[in-house]
Amino acid sequence: MQSRRNLVILILVILIIACMCIIGLGVLGYSLFSVRGSVVTTSAPIEEAITAGPESTILPVEPTPQSGATATSASEAPVGPTEQGQTGGEDLAPDVAASMDAIQEQVIQVRGLEPDGEFTRAIFSPEDLRERVVNDFFADYTVEEAADDALVLSFFGLLEPDFDLIALYIELFSEQVAGFYDDETKEMVVVGSESFGGPEKLTYAHEYNHALQDQNYNFNDGLMYNDDACELDSERCAAIQALIEGDATLLELQWFLEYATETDLEQIVAYYNSLDLTVLDNAPAFLQEDFVFPYDEGYLFVEHLFNGGGWAAVDAAFADPPVSTEQILHPEKYPNDAPAAVSLPDLLPLLGEGWEQLDDNVMGEWYTYLILAHGTDPGARRPDEEAASAAAGWGGDRYAVYHNRGTGETVMVLKATWDTPEDGIEFAAAFTLYAGDRFGPGSAVPSDAALYESDAGVHLFVETGGTTTWVAAPDPAVAEAVLAAVGE
């Protein structure tokens, strides 16, 4: 789905840093990763390491000299698979290049992946990096697409229909930017300030691991983690992204514990404590959660694999990637519990002239949970534990959204199958409470569905034998016709 993919992956080429307080000191960073860039998260594992203190967690090594130079756009010649210590660029300060080379060798040793390809390295000023990622992102994401995405998400209660996603993205770019790895251009970019210190080293370790992943597993053609494939199955791409970022987050933690110096630690803590995260803190509730999913849940998934078989087990997952957020949220369901295929009919013949399909894809367990627990209406949110439990029986789904630009009318349908009839009943109970708080009391209609009225029309919901169907339409007659076409 276009809207889901754009929002799960979010900003295709950047790394923004964010933080949250956990035990008084939180460090949570993102580097937004997609098929062209990567979101680094120093998530809960790093937070725990930092809060534990240097005496118990840091294994010191000789500190790397700092350049003290201002961070301007700088690049170097390609670094080949057997030339990890070679720099070849006069703009990249020698001590920075040496530090990068050392980190690369350390990451290779920790992760166990050998380099097998070339890439270029660069340090950008925050202003130059922000300008580049804004230009790259908005070359592929238009105002019209953003408006369609907001409309789609509004019918699932996640955004207001007129929410300005473009403005949010631009504001996010104005917050701290740390770096990215671009798997199209094979370029690794790290933002610098006055030195290549602890934060830059941590970012570089994470991003270099992405380069090794790409060289060994090929994001585009091997993992099929690209725009075209994600357009067809955003749920699978969300799972692969969690694998990629979970791997890099575990690597980042292990690098941090083994190689970071006390000076690095002090610089990292000072950097994160200085961040202004006003934009992120005021982003829609579901986006705040979705931003960190690949890192927090991805880390737990990869940690589960690692605890069972070390990095070899993680490598095996790249050969047989997870296919759903359900598998990420419940690692014990990987690899055998694949989603059930759910199909929907083409509704354009039913809807008639003037209608177009905006979206058609899989919602998945993670977004099912977000709808219940983190919608735009605080009064309709179900308690976190209840929402997670209700979504946990997810077995597969399909949704589609249609829109008539002439009339402004929209039709949405989401059909889901559940692992057991009891799971379907549990979700229906949670949805009934959610819908009642969001729309007001429902009423019965001839199809045995519950009917809810909203400003944009009506919503129908029905549960039958382990299947649930949710329809939104301009009026009851259209909603009933869609429900009949879809089948309960």
- Going by C-alpha positions, the residue among 391, 373, 393, 384 that lies closest to residue 438 is 373
Would you state the pLDDT for residue 314? 98
pLDDT confidence tier of residue 127, bands split at 50, 70 and 90:
confident
Identify the residue with better confidence: 88 or 1: 1
Identify the residue with better confidence: 51 or 358: 358
CA separation for the pair 247, 294 (Å, rounded): 10
Does the pLDDT value for residue 9 go beyond 50?
A: no
Query: Is residue 378 reached through a cis peptide bond, with omega within 30 degrees of 0 on the bond before it?
Result: no
CA separation for the pair 459, 434 (Å, rounded): 12
pLDDT confidence tier of residue 187, bands split at 50, 70 and 90:
confident
Identify the residue with better confidence: 129 or 453: 453
Q: How far is CA 350 from CA 117, 187, 188, 355, 480, in A?
A: 52, 48, 50, 10, 12
Contact (CB, 8 A) for 342 and 394: no
pLDDT confidence tier of residue 414, bands split at 50, 70 and 90:
very high
What are the tens digits of pLDDT across the range 219-260?
999 999 998 899 889 999 999 999 999 999 999 999 999 999
Would you state the pLDDT for residue 30? 26
Identify the residue with better confidence: 433 or 292: 433
Does the pLDDT value for residue 113 go beyond 60?
A: yes
Contact (CB, 8 A) for 120 and 77: yes
Does the pLDDT value for residue 90 go beyond 70?
A: no
Would you state the pLDDT for residue 78? 66
Which string of b and e fits 304-340 if b means at least 16 CB within 10 Å? bbbeeeebeebbebbeebbbbbbbbbbbebbeeeebe
Location of structure tokens 């059930």: 340
Would you state the pLDDT for residue 196? 87
Under DSSP, is residue 262 helix (H, G, I), strand (E, B) or coil? helix
Identify the residue with better confidence: 446 or 147: 147
Span 418-442, mean pLDDT? 97
Location of structure tokens 């949110």: 381
Would you state the pLDDT for residue 268? 87
Does the pLDDT value for residue 398 go beyond 60?
A: yes
Would you state the pLDDT for residue 133? 75
Does the pLDDT value for residue 396 go beyond 60?
A: yes
CA separation for the pair 307, 209 (Å, rounded): 19
Identify the residue with better confidence: 18 or 430: 430
CA separation for the pair 158, 449 (Å, rounded): 23
pLDDT confidence tier of residue 13, bands split at 50, 70 and 90:
very low
Phi then psi dihedrals of residue 301, to 5 deg: -65, -50
Question: Running DSSP on this structure, what letter comes out for residue 333?
Answer: G
- CATH 3.10.20 assigned to domain 348-486? The reply is no
pLDDT confidence tier of residue 56, bands split at 50, 70 and 90:
very low
Contact (CB, 8 A) for 399 and 377: no
Would you state the pLDDT for residue 192? 66
What are the tens digits of pLDDT across the range 255-288?
999 999 999 999 988 888 887 888 888 999 999 9
CA separation for the pair 100, 84 (Å, rounded): 9
Rg over CA atoms, the chain: 23
Q: How far apart are the first and last CA of the chain?
A: 23
Q: How far is CA 483 from CA 243, 275, 348, in A?
A: 36, 49, 14
Spatial neighbors of 353 by CB under 8 A, at least 6 apart, are: none
pLDDT confidence tier of residue 149, bands split at 50, 70 and 90:
very high
Q: What percent of the chain has pLDDT over 90?
A: 61
Does the pLDDT value for residue 114 go beyond 50?
A: yes
pLDDT confidence tier of residue 81, bands split at 50, 70 and 90:
low
Does the pLDDT value for residue 419 go beyond 70?
A: yes
CA separation for the pair 249, 138 (Å, rounded): 28
Does the pLDDT value for residue 342 go beyond 60?
A: yes
Span 166-187, mean pLDDT? 79
The domains of the chain are located at 2-329, 348-486
User: What type of residue is 370?
Assistant: L
CA separation for the pair 241, 12 (Å, rounded): 12
Would you state the pLDDT for residue 174? 65
**Strand 120-124 to 187-191 pairing:** parallel
Q: Which of 69-78, 152-161, 424-433 has the lowest mean pLDDT?
A: 69-78
CA separation for the pair 201, 256 (Å, rounded): 9
Contact (CB, 8 A) for 27 and 46: yes
CA separation for the pair 109, 92 (Å, rounded): 24
pLDDT confidence tier of residue 31, bands split at 50, 70 and 90:
very low
Under DSSP, is residue 296 helix (H, G, I), strand (E, B) or coil? helix
pLDDT confidence tier of residue 488, bands split at 50, 70 and 90:
low
Span 323-333, mean pLDDT? 98
What integer best gives the mean pLDDT of the chain?
82
CA separation for the pair 148, 1 (Å, rounded): 12
Phi then psi dihedrals of residue 97, to 5 deg: -60, -40
Location of structure tokens 């519990």: 337
Span 354-375, mean pLDDT? 97
pLDDT confidence tier of residue 54, bands split at 50, 70 and 90:
very low
Identify the residue with better confidence: 43 or 305: 305
Q: Which of 89-103, 193-207, 217-231, 433-447 has the lowest mean pLDDT?
A: 89-103
Identify the residue with better confidence: 294 or 89: 294
Contact (CB, 8 A) for 397 and 357: no
CA separation for the pair 101, 108 (Å, rounded): 11
Contact (CB, 8 A) for 283 and 245: no
CA separation for the pair 237, 324 (Å, rounded): 8
Beta-bridge partner residues of 414: 399, 470
